Amino acid sequence: MMQLPDYLYIDGEKIRQTDASEVVINPADESVLGHAPLASTVQTEAALEAARVAFDRGPWPRMSIKQRVGVMQKFQDYLRSKKAEIVQLIVAEAGSTLMQSDFMQYELPMKHVSHLLDDALQIRPEMIPVEITPAFDGSKVIGTSSVNYEPVGVVAAITPYNFPFFLNIGKVFHALLMGNTMVLKPSPLTPYQALILADAADAAGIPAGVLNIINGGIETGNLITSDKRVDMVSFTGSDKVGAAIAAQAAPTLKKTHMELGGKSAFIVRQDADLAGAVQAGLTGFITHCGQGCALTTRHLVHNAIRPQYVAALQQAIAQVKVGNPADASVMMGPLIRENARARVEQFVQAGLDSGAKLMAGGKRPAGLDKGFYFEPTFFDDVDNGSMLAQQEAFGPIAAVIGFDSDEEAIELANDSDFGLSGHIYSADAGTAYEMALQLRTGGVGINNGAGTMLSSAPFGGYKRSGYGREFGRHGLLDFCQIKSIAFQGR
């Protein structure tokens, strides 16, 4: 594994002198990975000022998109050269399994940023249709306007612990490609996957102050979300924290961009291929130990096949190997910390108290005394209004709910405070598509979707799952201001 960074990155300098540090542990065995530096108030202020000056006076926002793409290509090239070390860090710091760390946490975001580099080159001024207006002298004026996409300014980006590398580079590429400058604050549980980006910035030749990376807790977050030098906050995390950040940003009327939680529905119609549906359903709540905002943890299954689905899901869960994510044969690793495991246990108890039927899991696995492991768990006969069906556990637990018609399935799916993702399994793709149009959610997959997370498709949610989009043209434009420049001819 690469040497862990013992610095903050402020105004192009690696800052090793800090007043405090925080222990970072490996969630698989609770061993100490290192002591990550914490930014003081003075250092946070310095990062904000560096980003402000770099935007107001520096060359970065004034470069052409083509020039910035060239620099960010070097940024990606450096990360490519460090793949093996980065994957090992993801396994150790986030507790993601080896396969998921390689494919989902490293290769998928790298694919995304390759597309972002291409998509950015397509963003250029546009002309609106000509309007012909009579003038006072009897002639006619030809009026039109150019629509220009400009950087917002200083972006404060705050990322969570579940997919740190993925989310860190996603925000960096979106913001910087569009000419913004940035202060990036990762989760203090997984700081190293952000701090390592300093080396990539240096290798790419990013000007000083354009990218600043600081580590800290709630107080640091409060400072950067409320500071008037920040023009935009991009946050990925829980809906409750997102609401708090929106409130902190409101007095300065800065732009906010929220990718929040989910409680997404997985609809299994009566005609579905059962084996395929069960595999997709299982993946939908055990991936990264259930720590994913877009995972499908509400399984809405037609009552005509629900008994068979439940039985097959029990059999599939029995084959899931839980253990140290560094073992290539392990399918599910640990939760990030003990409090995350305790939260899942609360959901299990809530399911039992509500009368739902525990069909698998529900406890800590035997033989794993160190690490924050929990068995893959699901309940049948769940009330859609219950805590188990309505609140985000962020762990490997699913709720099976029966339905008798497509209309009922749609109603159950939409009966949620969240609206991030969703999935429909059916032999009738046309009907599934019609149903997908009625779901109040930012994305829907049909029968395993596109086979990947599409890089140029916008990602984001409805309702308490947030607002704004990431990836593709739509995601890049969310990090822009739109300016109209009108002119005329005679």
Which of the residues 259, 375, 392, 470 is marked catalytic? Answer: 259
Annotate the chain with three-state secondary structure: CCCCCCCEEECCEEECCCCEEEEEECCCCCCEEEEEEECCHHHHHHHHHHHHHHHHHCCHHHCCHHHHHHHHHHHHHHHHHCHHHHHHHHHHHHCCCHHHHHHHHHHHHHHHHHHHHHHHHCCCCEECCCEEEECCCCCEEEEEEEEEEEECCEEEEECCCCCHHHHHHHHHHHHHHCCCEEEEECCCCCCHHHHCHHHHHHHHCCCCCCEEECCCCHHHHHHHHHCCCCCEEEEECCHHHHHHHHHHHHHHCCEEEEECCCCEEEEECCCCCHHHHHHHHHHHHHHHHHCCCCCEEEEEEECCCHHHHHHHHHHHHHCCCECCCCCCCCCECCCCCHHHHHHHHHHHHHHHHHCCEEEECCCCCCCCCCCCCCCCEEEECCCCCCHHHHCCCCCCEEEEEEECCHHHHHHHHHCCCEECCEEEECCCHHHHHHHHHHCCCCCCEECCCCCCCCCCCCECCEECCEECCECHHHHHHCCEEEEEEEEEEC
Respond yes or no: is residue 289 known to be catalytic. Answer: no
Which of the residues 293, 392, 470, 480 is marked catalytic? Answer: 293
- Among all residues, which ones are annotated catalytic? 259, 293
